[in-house]
Structure 1
Amino acid sequence: MQVAWIGLGEMGLPTAMKVAAAGHAVRAYDVALPAAAKGLELAASPREAADGCDLLCIAVFSDAQVEEVLTGPDGVMSDLKDGAIVAIFTTGSVEAVQAIAAKAPAGVAVLDTCFSRRQSEMLPGKLTLLVGGDADAIERGRPAFDSFARAIFHVGPSGAGRKIKLVNNILFAGHLQLAVDALRLAEGLGLDRAATAGALVECSGASEVLHRFIVEDAAAILESAHRYMVKDVAAAADAGAAAGIDLGTLGAVTATYRSTWPSG
């Protein structure tokens, strides 16, 4: 399978290399090309990467970047061949990915392919793929998807993959904030943070995020997650508001992320 991969960040690079290691030809592009990209053919532009591809994978940060790659002035959507699949791994608004799918040329399938991973299993090949869109396109993309996903869930039509990813990410953000506060309580009671986290992962109060607190400082964990959590919690809250859903306790626990999201 000829695969184009746009976005070689923390998740994109190792996942693209996993696809290449499975025997697929992967032509990749990023605005900051990596020093090491084993098995990848690096392209000078998204258009060069996408030329003739069977599967276009997009793993950039925001909806605006996805739209630039696909439908911007130098967008590649109109050049994709009949039968091509576009897999969008970016987490963002449901409406944005549905709008992109609606604008796709006839014969081009757009999937919202959101991946997630357990905090205790951080390597490519241990990912869960949450997919919205056409079932046949998912099956046609499986040769590549199976190289990095241990489980693939077709959760519904276009936008459904993003919906469940937003539910996951706001829940993750809530778990993260609760873990920070719980371990702050533990330290206030004279307990060691790492030892407490190591014990709690085996107890009824366990959550996946606690694994990280065994070996990492809380401030470092929050800093690394903050940019993504602010974006994703805001998108989840907006989706809930549009559906008339009160987030209840989940909203209260994640309020710190929404308070730092720029308005407008």
Structure 2
Amino acid sequence: MTKVAFLGLGVMGYPMAGHLVAAGHDVSVWNRTASVTERWGSEYDGSTNGAVADAVSGADVVMMCVGQDADVLDVASRAVPAMKTGAILVDHTTASDGCAKQVGKLCAEAGLGFIDAPISGGEAGAVKGQLTVMCGGDQTHFDGAKPVIDAYAKAVKLMGPVGAGQLTKMVNQICIAGMLQGLSEAVNFAQAAGLDMDEVVGAIGKGAAQSWQMDNRATTMAKGEYEFGFAVDWMRKDLGIVLDTAKALDLDMPVTELVDSYYAEVQAMGGNRWDTSSLLARLKSKT
């Protein structure tokens, strides 16, 4: 049993913290909205706290899963001074690599380990404990945190020094953005041509076109169902980080920029909380 603190009980963090309890860890949680903390405490056998410092006190490993860079820096500034020497802070937020390096420096100065560990798999992956975790940091700190992360992950990999996890997540989001636009156009084409999308997936779903998005989203897209999964607002936040980083690297990102602009159109349609597969809804609105 490891004493673990989890900071941030959103759609991802809530079930992730629950998996830590199920794995036998001694779990302490905090969330900015107190009612969510209380609800989690009524469902799981862990301790709830009204302050970050109280949640992390005595913890061997502290997990964070919050919103964006500013939230990471705010919560870390409260957690780090209250953590015991030698403890490890693991940030599951999708943030910039610059933010990761800033928190890593703060932890190093306080005698703490730090791992930036953004996640992929969406809400379903968090609920099922089947997330992919991309990590950046020191090997020793990674080895100390991995047995805890394993409670909600199907794959955990150290990609390099602090910041490498966030950079890898950016690569992930670039791939997904382009793939979903292609799938949206394919579904739209199939339906316009009078094909049954389920039959189409049955025919091509084991070949070169196969992808997680096709397996899990083609059918729901064909039905116009978007009230689940990874929200458009979150994707635009992530793509904003990607494009800012690409600019700093002096890279041309035409497809990513284009898909980001399409997601802005989906937001204008009221689809802020729709699943990212709602790129199809934009296409349908133009026919």
Q: Tell me the TM-score normalised to structure 1 length.
A: 0.87
Superposed CA RMSD = 2.5
Give the one of 107, 110, 113 matched to 2:111. 107
Offset at 1:160?
Answer: 0.3
Correspondence for 2:249 among 243, 246, 252: 243
Counterpart amino acid of 1:131? Answer: C
The separation in 2 between residues aligned to 1:220 and 1:239, in whole angstroms, is: 29
User: For residues 174 and 218 of structure 1, do their structure 2 counterparts lie closer, same or farther at Cα, with a shift above 3 Å needed?
Assistant: farther
Among candidates 95, 98, 103, match of residue 95 of structure 1: 98
1:203 is paired with a residue whose SS is coil
Q: In the alignment, is the contact (CA less than 8 A) between 2:119 and 2:133 conserved in 1?
A: yes
Find out whether 1:180 has 2:184 as its counterpart.
yes
User: Deviations for 1:230-251, whole angstroms, at most 9, x for unmatched residues?
Assistant: 0001101111110111124444
Of 213-222 and 237-246, more deviation after overlay is shown by 213-222
Matched residues in 2 for 1:121 and 1:239: separation?
A: 27
Compare 139-148 and 35-44 and name the one that shifted more: 35-44
2:88 aligned to 85, 93, 103, which one? 85
Aligned residue for 1:14?
A: 15
What corresponds to 1:60 in structure 2?
A: 66
Deviations 1:177-202, CA, capped at 9 Å, x for gaps: 22112111111111234443454432
Counterpart for residue 171 of structure 2: 167
CA contact (8 A) 2:6 2:27 kept: yes
Name the structure where helix makes up a greater proportion of residues: 2
Classify 1:254/1:64 alpha carbon distance in 2 versus 1 (closer, same or farther; 3 Å): same
Q: How big is the shift at 1:139?
A: 0.7
Is residue 146 of structure 2 the alignment partner of residue 142 of structure 1? Answer: yes
Letter of the 1:14 partner, please give it.
Answer: P
Residue 221 of structure 1: how far off its partner (Å) = 6.0
Bigger Cα displacement from structure 2, 202-211 vs 130-139 = 202-211
Q: How far apart in 2 are the matches of 1:233 and 1:81?
A: 35
**Residue type matched to 1:62 in 2?**
Q
Deviation at 1:45, TM superposition (A): 2.1
Find the aligned partners of 1:120 and 1:78 in 2 and give their Cα distance. 34
For residues 185-204 of structure 1, the aligned pairs below 5 Å read: 185-204=189-208
Which residue does the alignment assign to 1:40?
Answer: 46
Contact persistence 2:56–2:79 (CA under 8 A): yes
Q: Is the 8 A contact 1:183 1:196 kept in 2?
A: no
Aligned-partner Cα distance in 1 for 2:234–2:256: 17
In 2, the alpha carbon distance for the partners of 1:77 and 1:156 equals 23
Where does structure 2 lack aligned partners over 5 or more consecutive residues? 268-287
Matched, 1:76 2:76: no
CA distance in 2, matches of 1:33, 1:218: 34
Pick which of 21-30 and 144-153 moved more. 144-153
TM-score for the superposition, normalised by structure 2:
0.81
Q: CA deviation at 1:252?
A: 3.5
Q: Would the alpha carbon gap of residues 119 and 177 (structure 1) be closer, same or farther in structure 2, given more than 3 Å must change?
A: farther
Give the distance between the partners of 2:5 and 2:132, measured in 1 at CA. 21
The question of whether the paired residues in 2 share the 8 Å contact of 1:234 and 1:258 is answered with: no
Q: 1:55 to 1:245 in 2, by over 3 A?
A: same
Partner of 1:27: 28
**Percent identity of the aligned residues?**
29
What residue ranges of structure 1 are gaps of 5+ in the alignment? none
1:35 to 1:193, Cα distance in 2 relative to 1, 3 A: farther
Q: Distance in 1 between matches of 2:178 and 2:227?
A: 14
Where 1:28 maps in the other structure, the secondary structure is: strand
CA contact (8 A) 2:178 2:255 kept: no
